[in-house]
């Protein structure tokens, strides 16, 4: 089955649209949940930027452990001028893609200030394999703290070997890597001069129903009836799932790969979440600056989905909901939808690097279970979906990694204690966020201080300011990119 961990950036759940987003996200170097269906990184997206390898310690916090491994990174020297700064793009929960070495706002900034550009792949993702497999025992070496220590050692070594010790280093990242960019400056202020933490969820939380609340508001911003119609359709589907006699029709309506089987609450929750994902991820990446299009060239936006939900010629809202699913599948040339929790469980517990979840799904869910939570549950009345409550998400931690709900809650509390959550205190970190992006609910959207400014961009989605400029960009997005650069210029002079 296809894994969707990448597309909802920092995310934890598996959704239908995540499959679609991944088809493009991988090509554009996104780290998201889902986030990398396979394009050849070198032949399609930057053969000039050859992968390089850096020796790291397996465990930075145990001096008695001398084991090492090779971490992948990329270099773009084309803009560098002697004495210029060093920009570091931080990798996240998916393969580092050299496409970021030839396009993106950070390169526009780099050209203006003469920066050397580096990109470091996150441990346990892409080709950066610190251990022989993805067993739970080995995944204990996967954490944001180890990743930050990787960045620190990489920065120190690169500075020494390239004569850049006195250069000003700036960290860039979007989504989870955005959080890492902020935390890199927070925890290693002597090594990184400033950070651009885009769409960064700096506050960890086990339950994140606010995600779906933002989905409701974002759909309503297009058409006030849209989320109401989605809710009616979702509620109708939930009622039909109570009667096994409806399963054959539901299988046909949503073009499932195998006949729907609902034997446990997880079966139902997984199916409902998969379908809801069409709306969740379209909202997160609405009007994405990648020129987000499907295989057949259709740009899927909130407007497109709400138009389908408003089309009475398709029948009742339930039928329109099914039509959205079919639209997505047709747009991305998918033959059928695999919505089997049994398949998901089997694949997620496969610990091989060749396993179907090794692209990042198993690793990212492990991080949510041991550090962040971020579970986008339906535990709120102010959102349009039903059927995938917090208990469903939390149980996966026990099923996949033997992490109890109590251990999960403690881990999330420790994350906020270690980094500060919303109360992060540092300097020279800028926090861009988009109002349409549900992840902004866990980010910094108001200035903390003059040295910790927020850039809240109305009408834009996840990581929009990171993508190259285009003529269709909203004026406020153009202004946001310019503002971030002005802030960086000021900081580089300090």
CB atoms within 10 A of CB 358: 20
Average pLDDT over residues 148-162: 97
Based on the residue annotation, tell me whether 175 is a catalytic residue of this protein: yes
Residues 6+ apart with CB under 8 A from 150: 56, 60, 71, 120, 122, 123
Q: pLDDT by residue (tens digit) across 56-92?
A: 999 999 999 999 999 999 999 999 999 999 999 999 9
Average pLDDT over residues 209-218: 95
Per-residue pLDDT band for 287 (boundaries 50, 70, 90) equals confident
Based on the residue annotation, tell me whether 60 is a catalytic residue of this protein: no
Q: Is the pLDDT of residue 14 over 70?
A: no
Alpha helix stretches (DSSP H) within 313-359: 317-331, 341-348
Per-residue pLDDT band for 288 (boundaries 50, 70, 90) equals low
Residue 330's pLDDT is 87
Q: 51-202+427-492 falls under which CATH superfamily? A: Alpha/Beta hydrolase fold, catalytic domain (3.40.50.1820)
The token pair at 197 is 């933490």
Give CA separation, 242 vs 88, 261, 337, in Å: 51, 12, 21
Average pLDDT over residues 176-193: 98
Domain coordinates in residue numbering, the chain? 51-202+427-492, 206-410
DSSP 403: -
Average pLDDT over residues 468-479: 94
Residue 28's pLDDT is 30
Give CA separation, 422 vs 201, 410, 426, 442, in Å: 9, 18, 12, 8
Class of domain 206-410: mainly alpha
Of 31, 36, 39, 462, which is the active-site residue?
462
Of 13, 143, 167, 175, which is the active-site residue?
175
Per-residue pLDDT band for 8 (boundaries 50, 70, 90) equals very low
> Residue with structure tokens 């004569």?
163
Per-residue pLDDT band for 22 (boundaries 50, 70, 90) equals very low
Residue 48's pLDDT is 73
Is 54 within 8 Å of 96 (Cβ atoms)? Answer: no
Residue 44's pLDDT is 37
Q: pLDDT by residue (tens digit) across 357-367?
A: 999 999 999 99
Indicate the range of 30-34, 193-197, 273-277, 469-473 predicted with least confidence: 30-34
Polymer length in residues for the chain: 494
Q: Is the pLDDT of residue 20 over 60?
A: no
Of 325, 437, 440, 473, which is the active-site residue?
437
pTM of structure: 0.91
Based on the residue annotation, tell me whether 462 is a catalytic residue of this protein: yes
């Amino acid at each position: 089955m296809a894994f969707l961990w990448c597309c909802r950036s920092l995310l934890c759940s598996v959704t239908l649209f995540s499959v679609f987003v991944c088809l493009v996200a991988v090509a554009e170097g996104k780290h998201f949940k889902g986030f990398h269906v396979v394009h050849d990184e070198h032949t399609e997206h930057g053969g000039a930027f050859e992968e390089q390898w850096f020796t790291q310690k397996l465990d930075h916090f145990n001096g008695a452990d001398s084991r090492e491994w090779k971490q992948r990174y990329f270099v773009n020297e084309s803009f560098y001028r002697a004495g210029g700064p060093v920009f570091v793009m931080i990798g996240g929960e998916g393969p580092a893609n050299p496409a970021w070495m030839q396009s993106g706002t950070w390169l526009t900034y780099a050209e203006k200030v003469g920066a050397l550009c580096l990109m470091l792949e996150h441990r346990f993702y892409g080709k950066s394999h610190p251990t022989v497999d993805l067993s739970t025992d080995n995944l204990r070496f996967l954490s944001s703290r180890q990743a930050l220590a990787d960045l620190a050692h990489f920065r120190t070594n690169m500075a020494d070997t390239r004569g850049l010790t006195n250069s000003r280093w700036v960290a860039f990242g979007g989504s989870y890597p955005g959080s890492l960019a902020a935390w890199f400056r927070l925890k290693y202020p002597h090594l990184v001069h400033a950070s651009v933490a885009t769409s960064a969820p700096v506050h960890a939380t086990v339950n994140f129903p606010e995600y779906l609340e933002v989905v409701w508001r974002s759909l309503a911003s297009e058409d006030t009836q849209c989320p109401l119609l989605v809710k009616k359709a979702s509620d109708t589907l939930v009622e039909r799932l109570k009667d096994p006699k409806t399963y054959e029709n539901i299988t046909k309506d949503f073009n499932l790969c195998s006949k729907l089987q609902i034997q446990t609450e997880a079966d139902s929750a997984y199916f409902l979440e998969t379908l809801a994902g069409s709306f969740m991820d379209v909202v997160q990446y609405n009007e994405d600056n990648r020129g987000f299009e499907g295989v057949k060239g259709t740009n899927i936006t909130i407007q497109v989905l709400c138009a389908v939900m408003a089309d009475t010629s398709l029948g009742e809202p339930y039928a329109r909901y099914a039509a959205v699913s079919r639209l997505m599948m047709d747009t991305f040339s998918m033959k059928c939808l695999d919505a089997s929790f049994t398949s998901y469980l089997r694949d997620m517990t496969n610990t091989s690097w060749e396993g179907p979840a090794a692209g990042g799904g198993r690793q990212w869910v492990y991080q949510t279970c041991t550090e962040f939570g971020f579970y986008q549950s339906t535990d709120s009345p102010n959102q349009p979906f039903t059927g995938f409550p917090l208990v469903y998400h939390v149980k996966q931690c026990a099923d996949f990694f033997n992490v109890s709900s109590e251990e999960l809650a403690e881990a999330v509390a420790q994350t906020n204690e270690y980094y500060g959550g919303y109360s992060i205190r540092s300097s020279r970190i800028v926090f861009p966020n988009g109002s349409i992006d549900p992840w902004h609910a866990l980010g910094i959207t108001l200035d903390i201080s003059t040295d910790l400014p927020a850039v809240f961009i109305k009408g834009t989605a996840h990581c929009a300011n990171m993508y190259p400029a285009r003529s269709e960009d909203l004026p406020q997005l153009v202004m946001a990119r310019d503002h971030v650069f002005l802030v960086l210029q000021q900081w580089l002079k300090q």
